[in-house]
Amino acid sequence: MLVETEIKSELHTYGGNGRFILAKSDEIIDMLVKEYKDSVQLIYLDPPFGTGDKFTMLKKVNGTRITVSTYDDTLNDEQYIEMMRNIMNGCKKMLTKSGAIYVHVDYRMSVKMRLLLDEVFGENNFVNEIIWSYKSGGRATNHFSRKHDTILLYKNGKSMLFNLEAIGTLRGTEQRSHMKKSVDEEGKVYFSIRSGGKIYKYYEDSMVYPSDVWDDIEHLHQKDPERTGYSTQKPEELLRRIILASSNENDIVMDLFSGSGTTSAVASKNNRHWVSVDCSPVAMNVLRMRQLKTCEEISLFSKSEPMLIEHLDRNAIDHNIEVELKVEKTSSEKYKITVISQSGDCPISYFAVGYVSNNINSFTPEVFTTNINEGTALYFINKSDKPFVIHIADYRGRQKFFKYVQ
């Protein structure tokens, strides 16, 4: 018999070494400070830009396109600044003394965020105003086209962890302007330039490091394999540069506006612990899918490095999923769980079977699939002879848990 049940969190032993919390960051910032005070090495914030828009994403499922709501960027300036002040004060308390915060904004909020960061972290802790310049998008006719975002970098103490060597690239064979290409007595190729009466040499195998203008990382194009459907999704290479520069392996990286889950995806691939927060169930679903995909691509994960998804905002979860399941016992321990039918405005994206840890009311999937049609089945071996749980989620982030009781 299947009985619908409520689960507060998911503990994934398949996905990355981190924690996703479904909630509004400003509403749980005090809770986060209690848990992570002085322990987070890097915080990346990509908050709403004050556009006044409502954002959606398109998903193509079984040949049909569906539109799902992701988030509303509709706060007025006063509400927005107050929300960000609350969050940034919490961030300062969570960062280590060598920690750093990167705040990603555009022309609408860059000046206001700079003033707010000066207020919270102090003007002396300003490090960089990074310009991320890109070529994608349309062309304006009544003003210069806006083709850059601003990333504000502040440190939390006198000495900031900064791994410049980790983000360098080989100079390579490309000849720079005004430089002469030569070969030394050992046969090594170098480029030289005369300046101030001195000759400066740069070898092909020497390293080149980024400045505060990043024009070598492009926006994601519409058909990029990284695309999740989020219109505001940032490329992994952008977060890779930030994470490698400002954290070490096993450090905690935090993102309080998770969105498409790029921060946690890159953190997982580079062996960082991550904490991501977002109030959108769609963001929760997208992050889960990216972590499971990451797990298939690399082997960084183990049973001791789980992914925890928590639902602190109970109002954010809509359980309106219509699905019919069939459970068959095929042997003394083996069960076949089949999706008989599904209906509604959004197909199922995730189907899993596992157990619940009663002490933390957390679901741990033992088997799962992200390719679901009517007739899709999971085979589950119930070695513990205790009630197991079936988890169903759709592309809107809505979900249901069912407990199987014999």
Residue 387 belongs to domain with CATH number: 2.60.40.10
Task: Answer whether residue 301 is part of any domain.
Answer: no
Pairing verdict, β 273-278 and 18-22? parallel
Task: Answer whether residue 184 is part of any domain.
Answer: yes
CA neighbours closer than 13 Å in the CB half-sphere of residue 39: 11
Q: Report the CATH number that the domain containing residue 244 is assigned in CATH.
A: 3.40.50.150
The answer to whether residues 230 and 102 belong to one domain is yes
Rounded to whole angstroms, the Cα distance separating 334 from 312 reads: 34
- Apex 160 CA angle, 256 and 94, nearest 5: 35
Task: Answer whether residue 266 is part of any domain.
Answer: yes
The answer to whether residues 384 and 246 belong to one domain is no
Task: Answer whether residue 174 is part of any domain.
Answer: yes
Task: Answer whether residue 305 is part of any domain.
Answer: no
Question: Which of 286, 304, 334 finishes a domain?
Answer: 286
Task: Answer whether residue 292 is part of any domain.
Answer: no
- Candidates 327, 277, 337; CA nearest to 26 is 277
The answer to whether residues 51 and 114 belong to one domain is yes
Q: Which two tokens stand for residue 199?
A: 């000759």
The answer to whether residues 198 and 111 belong to one domain is no
The answer to whether residues 271 and 337 belong to one domain is no
- Candidates 49, 78, 45; CA nearest to 263 is 45
The answer to whether residues 270 and 328 belong to one domain is no
* CB-neighbour burial class of residue 73 (10 A; exposed 0-12, middle 13-18, buried 19+): middle
Three-class SS state of 32: helix
Alpha helices in 37-144 (DSSP H): 77-94, 110-121
Rounded to whole angstroms, the Cα distance separating 166 from 272 reads: 14
Q: Total domain count for the chain?
A: 3
The answer to whether residues 248 and 349 belong to one domain is no
DSSP state of 158: S
Rounded to whole angstroms, the Cα distance separating 282 from 56 reads: 10
The answer to whether residues 26 and 118 belong to one domain is yes
Task: Answer whether residue 295 is part of any domain.
Answer: no
- Apex 215 CA angle, 247 and 229, nearest 5: 75
Per-residue pLDDT of the chain in tens (406 residues, 90 and over written 9): 889 888 888 888 777 789 999 999 999 999 999 999 999 999 999 998 666 667 666 666 666 666 677 767 777 888 889 999 999 999 999 999 999 999 999 888 899 999 999 999 999 999 999 999 988 767 888 888 888 999 999 999 999 999 999 998 877 666 566 777 777 777 777 777 777 778 777 776 678 889 999 999 998 887 888 888 777 889 999 999 999 999 999 999 999 999 999 999 999 999 999 999 998 888 888 899 888 877 666 544 444 467 888 887 766 666 678 889 999 999 888 999 999 988 777 888 899 999 998 777 888 888 888 888 889 999 999 987 788 999 999 888 888 899 998 7
Rounded to whole angstroms, the Cα distance separating 338 from 335 reads: 10
DSSP state of 315: G
Centre a 10 Å sphere on the Cβ of residue 103 and count the other Cβ atoms it contains: 24
The answer to whether residues 238 and 370 belong to one domain is no
What is each CA distance from 121 to 88, 124, 127, 156, 160, in whole angstroms?
A: 9, 8, 11, 7, 13
The answer to whether residues 251 and 218 belong to one domain is yes
- Which domain covers residue 196, as residue numbers? 169-207
The answer to whether residues 230 and 367 belong to one domain is no
The answer to whether residues 44 and 158 belong to one domain is yes
